Amino acid sequence: MGSGDEVVEIENLERGLLSDKDIEKAEDDNSDTVLYTASFREKEDNFVKYQTARWVLYSLLLILAWGIGLFMLLYLPVRRYILRKDIRSRKLYLTPNAIVYKVTRPVPFPCFGELKKEKHVLLPSVRDIVIEQGYLQSLFGVYSLRIENVGVRRPPSDDVQIQGIANPSAFRKAVLTRLSNMRSEVFSRQASAIEDIPKTSYSSLGKSPSKSVRHDVSPYSGDVALLQKLEEVESSVKRVQTLMEEQQCQTSQSVS
């Protein structure tokens, strides 16, 4: 069973990576390269059934409360039409720098037009991709995908939540893989920058390490030369003293 699930996951990942039609559509909307494209078509019926069950439950509760639920039940065919148009228009794909989510849904009364929504989430601001499934969602096989932000002080309502994605685990794996690659690239750049610092410092000074060593040795050679000169002066002074002593001895002898 484990190997079969792995094969299915790999096939779904390959479909997302190699879906040329979805990639071409996304590239028409965005000039960035598309690394992975999520799909919603496989879960369209499940998503509509799940939302219909929620709508019916709310309608029954409101019938018992105020009777408004009766109008909600009458509105159910329009609601199902809006849901299908919604999930068919959804686009979710991964670019080298961001996660892009686009959707076009009709307004509650479709004759008045449509609403367009486009969300770009930068990858450096993504902390994690959370896959959620409630009790009612598990009955219909629907998953929710939540993109958590890095900011600790942000409320959970700021997180992007998407329902009805066909293979959320494959999309999560693609995003985390891209994040790890970005972090490794940043680390390699920092390491190369640190290695280039000594080279740039030597080039800015116009000196090589060998020259600096020679410069450090030169004061010692100057001290040695100075000592040699002092010794020569001292020897010459001693010679002068001996000559003066000899002359004094000669003069004293001649006087006596």
End-to-end CA distance of the chain: 134
Residue 229 and residue 160 in one domain: no
Residue 59 and residue 171 in one domain: yes
Residue 129 and residue 242 in one domain: no
Residue at 251 is within a domain: no
CA separation for the pair 152, 158 (Å, rounded)? 11
Residue at 168 is within a domain: yes
Per-residue model confidence (pLDDT) at position 56:
94
Give ∠ CA 81-85-89 in degrees, rounded to 5. 170
**Domain CATH for 152:** 2.30.29.30
Residue at 211 is within a domain: no
Per-residue model confidence (pLDDT) at position 112:
85
Per-residue model confidence (pLDDT) at position 242:
77
Number of domains within the chain: 2
Residue 168 and residue 79 in one domain: yes
Per-residue model confidence (pLDDT) at position 191:
78
Query: Diameter of the chain by CA atoms?
Result: 156
Per-residue model confidence (pLDDT) at position 190:
79
Residue 193 and residue 221 in one domain: no
Closest to 172 measured CA to CA, from 36, 7, 26: 36
Neighbours of 196 (CB within 10 A): 10
**pTM for this structure?**
0.62
Residue at 61 is within a domain: yes
Per-residue model confidence (pLDDT) at position 187:
83
Q: Which helix (H) or strand (E) holds 37?
A: strand 36-37
CA separation for the pair 90, 99 (Å, rounded)? 13
Residue 119 and residue 241 in one domain: no
Residue 46 and residue 74 in one domain: yes
For residue 168, give its domain range.
Answer: 12-197
Query: Which residues of the chain carry a pLDDT beneath 70?
Result: 1-32, 151-158, 196-230, 233, 251-256
Residue 132 and residue 236 in one domain: no
Residue at 208 is within a domain: no
Residue 67 buriedness (CB in 10 A; 0-12 / 13-18 / 19+) = exposed
Residue at 3 is within a domain: no
CA separation for the pair 236, 214 (Å, rounded)? 34
The residues, ordered by sequence, that sit 6+ positions from 135 with a Cβ below 8 Å of its Cβ are: none
Closest to 177 measured CA to CA, from 236, 129, 246: 129
Residue 70 and residue 145 in one domain: yes
The DSSP line for 69-122 is: HHHHHHTHHHHHHHHHHHHHT-EEEE-SSEEEEEEEEE-SSGGG-EEEEEEEEE
Q: Name residue 116's beta-bridge partners.
A: 104
Do β-strands 126-132 and 144-149 pair in parallel, antiparallel, or remain unpaired? antiparallel
Residue at 212 is within a domain: no
Q: Name residue 117's beta-bridge partners.
A: 103
Beta carbons of 181 and 124 less than 8 angstroms apart: no
Residue 179 and residue 227 in one domain: no
Residue 231 and residue 115 in one domain: no
Residue 39 and residue 148 in one domain: yes
Q: Which helix (H) or strand (E) holds 213?
A: helix 209-255
Per-residue model confidence (pLDDT) at position 206:
52
Residue at 204 is within a domain: no
